[in-house]
Structure 1
Amino acid sequence: MAENELRVGVIGVGMMGADHADRLVHRVAGARLVAVSDPDTARAAALAGRYDGVRSVDDPLALVADDEVDAVVIASPGFVHEEQVLACIAAGKYVLCEKPLTMDSESSLRVLRAEREAGKELIQVGFMRRFDPQYAQLQQLLASGDLGRTLLLHNTHRNKSVPNPEFRSEMIVRDSLVHEVDVARFMFGQEITTIQVLSPAPTSHACEGVVDPQVALFTMAGGGVVSNEVFVNCQVGYEVRCEAVSERGTAIAGRPQSGLYTTRVGEPAGSWGGTVDPDFIARFGLAYDLEFQAWVDATRRGEVVGATSWDGYASTAVCEAGMQSLASGQPVAVTLVDKETLT
């Protein structure tokens, strides 16, 4: 595999899956898109028809089992992830699975145990912010210790609109806040021990009964605190950023200019003004490109990079506790199995 192109199949070709298919064809080296699958078979066939040598496969499990598919990208809805990821493990095929890994911690744990029993790491979870240049630079800065101990994170996650009436309050936790969960764990290098989800007065642009915006508070294992605003109907555009507050300075990833926005002793303040990205593809297109290239390169080496199955499980467990807190308004403890024994 290391000397040949990685033959990739994509399961789920909605907005994200179609973008990933195009990414594999046009912007990733060392890989070749060979098959796609989607419950909307007409949509899958139409997408396959855009590219030479790409087949449409009606059954996603048949795509996984196909001898002409070396590795799989899963961009299908979360409720089918468990079955599809388990099929990839059984077939011994590397998989890049979009978040969430599964819909709840028990099913994520089943996936984690199956991978452990297979004796080889195969799963990368699609937390693309780890590959965004600014987020990666921020993590490296914090890990270096140059700013001292990290005390606080402030995450902002705003989307222009979500008109889908099926995108309920719980989905904001499970499908949107999950990114902030991974960012907190990535930046601190620690687990989240408690989560509290607060419900401000909702925007008039949210569907009836939907709590939007939401504010979530995380307590980290080392005592740090993370504040998170998730606002999926902000009407302005797509804003995602992370500010770290440390003992000897601060740094912000995600401001709409190149490089980190930083303040520290002796450094003057700066400012910037401009337009806001319209959506996640515009904001994180480069991050997705870098993520996929890293996944292809690692798969060809027989390795896993980025967020692992453990990260997927831990993030799902935090969001599960978050949905309990959404209902009660109270802090909820996050319970994880032992990482070594999985019990």
Structure 2
Amino acid sequence: MDLSTPPPDLYGRPRADRFMQRVTAFGDRYTPALGSPLLRRSPRRPPARPTPPLRLTVTGHRTIADGIAELRLADPAGGALPGWQPGAHIRLRLPSGRERHYSLCGDPADRGGYRIAVRRLPGGGGGSVEIHDELLPGTELTVRRPRNGFAFCAEPAVLLLAGGIGITALLPMAREARRLGLDWHLIHTGRSAGTLPFADELRALGPDRVEIRTDDRHGVPTGAALLARARRGTAVYCCGPAPMLAAVQGALEASPARTLHFERFGAAPVLGGSPFGVRLGADGPLLAVPADRSALDVALEQRPGLPYSCRQGFCGTCRVHVLAGTPEHRDRRLTEDERAAGALLPCVSRAAEGETLVLDL
């Protein structure tokens, strides 16, 4: 008996049973959304096809502040690009093979191109320098479609706090808040006026709603000062360097703000870590990973060409395979099946004290 094909009727009659038709249609549509592994996918639905990346061309490249370049990317054939929402980012695969994430800072209504802004970091991993020096107009890139891990919920009252280049994620939120008629304010902080991009664009959105603070004129702001504009029930969105985020988190409870949404520039501090070891390959060097550093950081000292991007456990660029050892997974990307098969994101995941992970590198 073929159990994969249901009978035409509950009672074996040759005509189709309308109730069972409806039940089957409901199951075909909603079973894949259920969390149980046994119900994850309906056998009648074909497996989802991976979404292909985009092939885009750099159509604009200009300096907009000290050490900051703005790029515009478009379909070389002039086609409309996939839509996105404030807070979204794209992942670029650079000509060198490096992959990097950047927030979209243009207008979601503009389907003709994506805009990003990149700060040059000479002491970083090389991605920003490559973008500044080599991604000239006409360069073609492979780009992953927009994803959003910092969604704007459009609460009635919002306070947007940007530190330096963190304005790239918050500028579209300010534009959306204005469009929706929300009670919004934005504070942009940085070392000096010359280091802050989009100042004129921000002021044009609402001079009475935008405050630009520079360390050389106003001093480094405290968390309480940044939250001073928050009223009871305000939702705070913050994107900036770690000290700024820590200051805002520390002052939040004493403020009238209700919630805090944030996005980090880079890796979060390691919390609750223990020292362990990683071996790069079955016969490779054994490296000690301190309690306050990631396995990726330590491995990069030996293998500077290792791929990585977000350093926060969500993009999957640094994915490696574990040959031996028991990892402690801390990522937000891998499925349980992928972990069971040996996948690991060394940017955040660790191991118990004294454990050694042998990585296929």
- Normalising by structure 2, what TM-score? 0.31
Q: Higher Cα Rg: structure 1 or 2? A: 2
* Greater strand content: 2
Q: Which has the higher helix share?
A: 1
Per the normalisation by structure 1, the TM-score is: 0.32
Q: Say which structure, 1 or 2, has more relative contact order (CA 8 Å, 6+ apart).
A: 1
